């Protein structure tokens, strides 16, 4: 490489670092905007009255609405009760009004938060692209590069769901918080200077295997976040059903989330949709191992935990298809599967030694 090219690559690496730090600053602003959305979206008397008028309380049907026509005639239209259903024995309740709580001010802060999140996503994606240009390869050769790409894909998936008009804005605060944590660990603990790949990684399989692994992990994360919120919301609904009185803070937050049934369905669909791609990821890794090391499977720690993760998600999906393993039991199994994925990334790479350790941090 000529000195001029080396200097250009170094400049691109510095630009990448600058963009990653800039995205963290914008994500921080989005974090505070989401906090404001939840704070100002606390359901006031006006919001509760609006909810009562639309029938969005305690699963009761909405009242009839009288509509006046142009000629002065009137007609009565009944609003149907909107409920969601999942496993047998669960409660049929309407979804909450969202983080904004049905308030104008809360909705304004929520829109600002989403806009800032989208801006931070574009800046972070630019940082990942600059990193790729600085090394002239896919930016997935070490844990730092994997981490910044992972958070970019997770936010991108969230924004795509929003663009498809899915009711997922309640996920924004958790997502932005975890992205800031991910990027903080990446820049302070995992950072590695731009460099070329070791020979074993220098293969077109890097684009196939690692890209699908990143995408699967990012989407599995969204499913895990939904599962955690499902457990909290399910406990809240159970307490109400048992005649209990949750605290004011718990009520303010939980009543604005989707119903437990909706959160359960969201997590299941996310995990079920990405599981076939995770299966392909493991198969692609085995083929790459055959090209790099002359064997398709050698029970390396990374291979073992990838398989354990696959088995855990397979058990989760099977449990959802079995009458006695729905709801909280399946949710715990789904969280265990995601913990296996996290351990496969951080634990195996940083604690255990194996053939995959050459990638460093």
Quick: pLDDT tens for 82-120. 344 444 445 667 888 888 888 899 999 999 999 999 999
Contact status, residue 221 vs residue 342, Cβ threshold 8 Å: no
Q: Between residues 293 and 306, which one has the greater pLDDT?
A: 306
- Nearest in space to 310 (alpha carbons), one of 244, 177, 196, 213: 213
Q: Between residues 48 and 6, which one has the greater pLDDT?
A: 6
Per the DSSP assignment, residues forming a β-bridge with 74 are 68
Cα–Cα distances (Å) from 185 to 179, 212, 326, 341, in that order, read 10, 22, 35, 17
- pLDDT category at 78 given cuts 50, 70, 90 is very low
Residue 144 has pLDDT above 70, yes or no: yes
State the average pLDDT over residues 212-237. 94
For residue 13, the surrounding DSSP H or E stretch is helix 3-40
Q: Which of 52-66, 130-144, 147-161, 281-295 ranks highest by mean pLDDT?
A: 147-161
For residue 242, the surrounding DSSP H or E stretch is none
- Nearest in space to 260 (alpha carbons), one of 230, 238, 227: 230
Q: Between residues 60 and 207, which one has the greater pLDDT?
A: 207
Q: What's the rounded Cα separation, in Å, for the pair 170 and 229?
A: 10
The reported pLDDT for the residue numbered 323 is 62
Q: What's the rounded Cα separation, in Å, for the pair 135 and 137?
A: 6
The reported pLDDT for the residue numbered 354 is 61
Q: Which residues are within 8 A (CB) of 137 and not within 5 positions of it... i.e. 6 or more apart?
A: 196, 197, 202, 206
Q: Which residues are within 8 A (CB) of 318 and not within 5 positions of it... i.e. 6 or more apart?
A: 325
Cα–Cα distances (Å) from 264 to 107, 155, 261, 284, 330, in that order, read 25, 21, 5, 30, 9
For residue 141, the surrounding DSSP H or E stretch is none
């Amino acid at each position: 490489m000529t000195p001029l090219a080396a200097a250009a690559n170094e400049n691109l690496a510095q630009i990448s670092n600058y963009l990653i730090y800039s995205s963290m600053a914008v994500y921080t602003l989005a974090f505070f905007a989401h906090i404001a959305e939840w704070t100002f979206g606390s359901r006031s008397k006006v919001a509760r009255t609006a909810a009562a008028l639309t029938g969005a309380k305690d699963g009761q049907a909405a009242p009839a609405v009288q509509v006046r026509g142009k000629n002065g005639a009137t007609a009565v239209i009944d609003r149907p009760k909107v409920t969601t259903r999942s496993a047998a024995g669960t409660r049929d309740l309407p979804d909450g009004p969202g983080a904004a709580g049905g308030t104008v001010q809360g909705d304004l802060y929520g829109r600002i938060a989403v806009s800032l999140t989208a801006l931070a996503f574009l800046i972070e994606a630019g940082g990942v692209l600059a990193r790729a240009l600085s090394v002239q390869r896919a930016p997935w050769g070490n844990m730092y590069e994997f981490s910044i790409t992972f958070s970019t894909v997770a936010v991108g998936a969230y924004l795509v769901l929003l663009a498809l008009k899915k009711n997922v804005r309640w996920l924004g605060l958790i997502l932005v918080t975890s992205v800031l944590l991910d990027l903080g660990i990446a820049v302070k603990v995992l950072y590695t200077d731009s460099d070329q790949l070791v020979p074993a990684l220098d293969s077109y399989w890097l684009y196939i295997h690692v890209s699908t692994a990143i995408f699967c992990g990012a989407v599995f994360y969204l499913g895990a976040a939904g599962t955690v919120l499902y457990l909290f919301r399910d406990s809240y609904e159970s307490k109400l059903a048992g005649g209990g009185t949750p605290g004011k803070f718990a009520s303010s937050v939980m009543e604005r989330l989707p119903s437990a049934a909706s959160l359960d369905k969201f997590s299941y669909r996310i995990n079920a949709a990405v599981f076939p791609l995770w299966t392909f990821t493991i198969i692609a890794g085995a083929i790459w191992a055959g090209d790099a090391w002359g064997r398709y499977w050698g029970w390396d720690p990374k291979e073992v935990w990838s398989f354990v993760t696959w088995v855990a998600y397979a058990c989760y999906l099977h449990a959802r298809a079995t009458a006695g393993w729905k709801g909280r039991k399946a949710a715990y199994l789904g969280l265990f599967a995601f913990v296996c994925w996290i351990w496969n990334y951080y634990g195996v790479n940083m604690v255990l030694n194996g053939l995959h350790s050459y990638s460093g941090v």
